[in-house]
Structure 1
Amino acid sequence: MRVLVVQNYQDTGLGQVGRALAEAGAAIDMRQAYLGEALPADASGHDALVVLGGDQNALADATHPYLPELAQLTKRFGDADKAVLGICLGSQLVARGYGADNILGRTPEFGWHEVTRNEASEADPVLASVPFRFPIFHWHSDTFTLPENAIRLASSDVTANQAFRIGRAVYGIQFHFEADTALVEEWRRVFHDQIASNYPGWLDNYDSYVARDGAAADAAGLALARAWVALIQR
């Protein structure tokens, strides 16, 4: 099993998704596209695609000229019936690749907050693996309209389109389910100044947030990761 992983920003690791891929014995082909590493032209050399998050928006073509190509690559994988997972910015690029609109600069959603899955998710092989309501980590202000033929699977109080599926195994997931408490702790250290400036008080209350939601979010995130990895066809 060979999985293409596209990194769009520094220190954005695979987290729980990496754990699930390791359990499945997957070989990871990591491309740091934001540093200029080339993307493949099509899906022929890989069994699945993961597109990670980033600080840029999904329409930042002037500063990140690879973004249109990456958005189209998500659709090429989907058209080949290969599993696709877009997380945060990655979900916005999946939406773009499938013809939806990107909506920039909305109300920020940051930290652990509850997501609620909907009735359609009851039959979904990934979202049905978690409770109907669960806490999970968020870090975004952009969103998107739902692509044509996509099935909405989950929402939050701030963001209607938190998770969707297209076809058999193309997923756009806005929330950071890959970010277990270990990865969030790394982000707290690496992005300390950015967090302190944009979300005053959050760092001061960090320990109470972890105690409240960390364990449940970690469990939900790993369940989602394992369920998506199970959809990869060798």
Structure 2
Amino acid sequence: MRVLVVHNYPATGLGQVGAALAEAGAELDQRMAHDGEALPATSDGYDAALLLGGGQNALADEAYPYFPALLDLARDFTARDKAVLGICLGSQLLARAFGGENRIGGAREFGWCPVSLTGEGAVDPVLGGVAPEFRIFQWHDDTFTLPPGAAHLASSGVANSQAFRLGRATYGVQFHFEADRKLVHEWNTAFAGTIAERQPDWPDRYESEAARHGPGADAAGLAIARAWVGLI
């Protein structure tokens, strides 16, 4: 099993998706696209693709000129029935690739926030294994409309488009199910300046929220990660 991992921002990490891929013995080809590393032209030689998150928006082609090629690549993986997973910015890019509308700003969520499965989500092979309502880590300002023909899998009170599926195994997931407590702790350090500016009360509430919501979120996130890897 060979998986292309596209990094769109420094220090994001693979978290629980990385753990699930390691359990499956996957070989990872990690491309630091945000840092100028070239992407493959097609999905040849890969079984799946993982598109990670980032602080930029999904329309930032001028600053990140590889975005259009990444959209083409995601379409190629999907057309050839190879599994694709986009998380946070990755989900926004997937929505764009398949005809959704990116909406910049106005949908801020941060911390362990509630998410609800839709009817389709409750029977989905990846999301259907978690509770109908659960808390999971979020960190985003932007949102998107669902691509035409996508199955709507999850929503929240802030952003209706929390998860979707196209075809058999292309998934866009807005929430950071890969971010277990270990990864969130790492983000607290790596992005301390941004958090202090935008979420100044986070240091005061982090420990209690991690203790209250972290164990359940970690369990749900790992279940989702393993289920997606199972589709590869």
Aligned residue pairs total 232
Superposition pairs of residues 1-234 of structure 1, within 5 angstroms: 1-232=1-232
RMSD: 0.7
How far off its partner does 1:231 sit? 0.2
Does the 8 A contact of 1:73 with 1:97 survive in 2? no
Letter in 1 for 2:231: L
* Superimposed CA distance per residue, residues 92-124 of structure 1 (whole angstroms, 9 cap, x where no aligned partner): 011111111111011311111011001111221
Letter in 2 for 1:151: A
CA distance in 2, matches of 1:131, 1:9: 30
Does the 8 A contact of 2:91 with 2:171 survive in 1? yes
How far off its partner does 1:174 sit? 0.2
CA distance in 1, matches of 2:69, 2:39: 8
CA distance in 1, matches of 2:143, 2:40: 26
Does the 8 A contact of 2:116 with 2:155 survive in 1? yes
Aligned residue for 1:161, secondary structure, equals: coil
- Structure 2 stretches lacking a partner, 5+ long: none
Q: Which runs of 4+ in 1 moved over 4 A?
A: none
How far off its partner does 1:144 sit? 0.8
Letter in 2 for 1:163: A
- Structure 1 stretches lacking a partner, 5+ long: none
Identity of aligned residues (%): 60
TM-score relative to the length of structure 2 = 0.99
* Superimposed CA distance per residue, residues 12-60 of structure 1 (whole angstroms, 9 cap, x where no aligned partner): 1110000000000000000000011111111111000000001111000
TM-score relative to the length of structure 1 = 0.98
